Amino acid sequence: MNCAVYSLALIAVLAVVITMFNRVKNEMGKAEFGLIIGGILAALGLAIFSFNQPAGLFSASYHGIFIQMYVTPLAIFFEILVLTAVLMLILASWDYTRKTRYYGLFLLSTMGVLLLPFSRDILTLYFAWELMTVPTYALVLFSPSKKSVEGGVKYLIFGILSSALMIFGMMLLIVTSGHTDLAGIGQYLGLPTNRTDLTFLTGVLLVVAMGIKIGLVPFHMWIPDSYQGAPRLVAGYLSAVTKKAGIIALIMVVFVAAVFSQSQYASVFLFLSVITMFWGNVAALKQKNVVRMLAYSSIAQMGYILIGFSVNIQFGLEAALYHALTHAVMDALAFIAVFAIFHSTGAYMLDDYRGLARRVPKTALALSLGLFALAGMPPLAGFTSKLFLFKAGLDGGLWWLSLLGLGFSVFSLAYYLKPVMAMYGHEEGEVTDDDVYVPPATGIAMGIGVILLFLLGLYPNFFMELIARAVALL
């Protein structure tokens, strides 16, 4: 029996306990927070422990309620990804809010994300998707202001649009194929005679539904506004974690349920990849607000991931998953650092960042490393994963797409370097040498992130093995 399921169960129990605890106490103490961190660590430990265990079907019935979950290497990989990012973000949250509600909602959403890769059934998939999304509506509006209400409403409306399109697409799938499990649908649609124009429409509906969550151009418009309005760590969660959930759902629908034919998905993702890279990178260039810049950067990064989707080879998907992992870490780190800077110095525009390296040296270093990694500088994580993606492009015969991605990577330095240069540049005005305090939990979270940047950059094999198995056993 595979332990991965227990790690999901652990998070589920934790989420429920913390949510119920809200009735008892509004504010959390150190003990409760320790419980959460311990629980996440234990779940992460279980996921890593189950690394080499065989894949299989987990089923349990309790008084007629029948639960089925498919434990695959993909699910284990995704669990590790999500729990790592969530660990960093929750650790950093502790310094800013002690509200029990916040953690309860956070964990409920995490539970939904974790459930996603286990579900091989359209109904559970949709359930997991909504479980992931609904708590985030509340989280985005956690500390309401005029700006955040605007962002929150946009997020809500796009979330609803996404859900509606998804239900529509799923319904069409069930009706046309007569199956509810993804593998069955895949088998049915595997026969070319079963494929109609309606199948393509279904595929497009699902891609758009997930594309909204992932932030693919042109379904990305809500992202900058919502990220800007949301508490920055929640924005980090949306960017680092829920986007990856969209990627996983997309993999399930496209590669397991085969909603597109081989030639169709290659060209659909090629199209999306090119415009997403283009729009994200170019729009990021002019941003004055660092969070908006990160929002566009995370749109652009999804374009790189789609390179791996559009080449029709196994290594492409492996590279895409590896980039999903490294991006989760890099983005979580960047958002945490940006939030720490905002919280302790009040800086959030590029102009405010001038000379910050002298006031918050460690945070500035962590943010710079995170941005360098996002830009793809060796030997950090982003370099290795982009290297894999571009290599996949070359192997898959799309050399020009790799070249384009490389070009955009170089181009992206233009905006990634802006905050770094501002922070380390000479400050012209007077230097306020007051000791700015960055709280310890944030420091630990950033430390974890920085270590992972190097580990993932220098030592990709640990995960690439798992990913190779995940893709092979899709």
- Interacting span for another protein (CB under 8 A) from 15-23, 126-134, 263-271, 437-445: 263-271
153 binding another protein? (CB under 8 A): yes
Stretch that binds another protein, among 65-73, 157-165, 235-243, 351-359 (CB under 8 A): 157-165
Query: Residues 155, 292, 386, 218: is their CA dihedral positive or negative?
Result: positive
Tell me the C-alpha distance between 95 and 344, whole Å.
11
Smallest distance, another protein to C-beta of residue 275, A: 9
Positions 411 through 430 that interact with another protein (CB under 8 A): 411
Q: Contact region for another protein (CB under 8 A) — 281-289, 328-336, 350-358, 426-434?
A: 281-289
- Binding of another protein by 154 (CB under 8 A): yes
Give the CA dihedral 21, 24, 26, 27, nearest 10 degrees: -80
Q: Is 432 in the site for another protein (CB under 8 A)?
A: no
Whether 107 and 11 have beta carbons less than 8 Å apart is answered as yes
- Our finding on whether 366 is near another protein (CB under 8 A) is no
Which residues are registered as beta bridge partners of 69?
Answer: 58
What does the alpha-carbon distance between residue 156 and residue 102 come to, in Å, rounded to a whole number? 18
Residues 388, 418, 436, 446: which binds another protein (CB under 8 A)?
388
**235 lines the binding site for another protein (CB under 8 A):** no
> If binding is defined by CB under 8 A, does position 288 make contact with another protein?
no
Please, which residue, 134 or 201, has the CB nearer to another protein? 201
Single out the residue of 59, 194, 267, 432 in contact with another protein (rule: CB under 8 A).
267
What is the dihedral angle through the alpha carbons of 427, 431, 432, 434, rounded to the nearest 10 degrees? 100
Number of residues that bind another protein (CB under 8 A): 46
CA distances 411 to 278, 387, 403, 407, 423, Å, are 10, 16, 12, 6, 20
- The angle subtended at Cα 347 by Cα 342 and Cα 353, nearest 5°, is 125
- Cis omega before residue 379 (within 30°)? yes
Q: Which is nearer to another protein, 193 or 461 (CB)?
A: 461
Q: Which of 94, 279, 339, 353 binds another protein (CB under 8 A)?
A: 279
Output 21-30 pairs: Cβ under 8 A, ≥24 positions apart. 21/100, 21/104, 22/100, 22/101, 22/104, 25/100, 26/99, 26/100, 26/101, 27/98, 27/99, 27/100, 28/98, 28/99, 28/100, 28/103
* Cβ 43 to another protein shortest distance, Å: 24
Q: Binding to another protein by residue 158, rule CB under 8 A?
A: yes
Q: Which residues of 60-97 are buried (b: 16+ CB within 10 A; e: fewer)?
A: eeeeeeeeebbbbbbbbbbbbbbbbbbbbbbbbbbbbb
Please report, as residue ranges, which positions from 166 to 205 form the binding site for another protein (by CB under 8 A).
Answer: 197, 200-201, 204-205
Q: Of 139, 128, 116, 2, which Cα lies nearest the Cα of 59?
A: 2
* Region near another protein per CB under 8 A, out of 7-15, 25-33, 90-98, 156-164: 156-164
Q: Does residue 362 interact with another protein by CB under 8 A?
A: no
Q: How far apart are the first and last CA of the chain?
A: 19
Closer of 87 and 207 to another protein (Cβ): 207
Shortest distance, position 334 Cβ to another protein, whole Å: 21
- Binding residues for another protein restricted to 329-358, rule: CB under 8 A: none
Single residue of 318, 324, 374, 418 touching another protein by CB under 8 A = 318
Least spacing, CB of residue 396 vs another protein, in Å: 14
Q: Does 161 participate in binding another protein (rule CB under 8 A)?
A: yes
Q: Which of 379, 378, 374, 354 is nearest to 431 (CA)?
A: 354
What stretches of 331-472 adopt beta strand conformation (E)? none
DSSP 8-state assignment for residue 55? P
Closest CA to 383 of 419, 337, 423, 330: 330
Q: Which of 60, 157, 403, 431 binds another protein (CB under 8 A)?
A: 157
Tell which one of 134, 441, 458, 474 touches another protein (CB under 8 A).
Answer: 458
Judged by CB under 8 A, the chain residues 32 through 61 that form the site for another protein are none
Q: How far is the CB of 109 from another protein (least distance, A)?
A: 23
The β-bridge partners of 65 are 62
Answer whether the bond into residue 218 is a cis peptide, omega within 30°: yes
Place of tokens 């909504």: 130
Contact residue for another protein among 86, 132, 212, 235 (CB under 8 A): 212
SS3 assignment, position 261: coil
Q: Is there binding between residue 269 and another protein (CB under 8 A)?
A: no
Q: Please tell me whether residue 268 binds another protein under the rule CB under 8 A.
A: yes
Smallest gap, in angstroms, from Cβ of residue 219 to another protein? 5
Q: What's the rounded Cα separation, in Å, for the pair 299 and 292?
A: 11
Q: Which residues bind another protein (CB under 8 A)?
A: 150, 153-154, 157-158, 161, 165, 197, 200-201, 204-205, 207-208, 211-212, 217-219, 221-222, 224-225, 263-264, 267-268, 271, 278-279, 282-283, 285-286, 315, 318, 387-388, 391, 411, 458-461, 464, 468
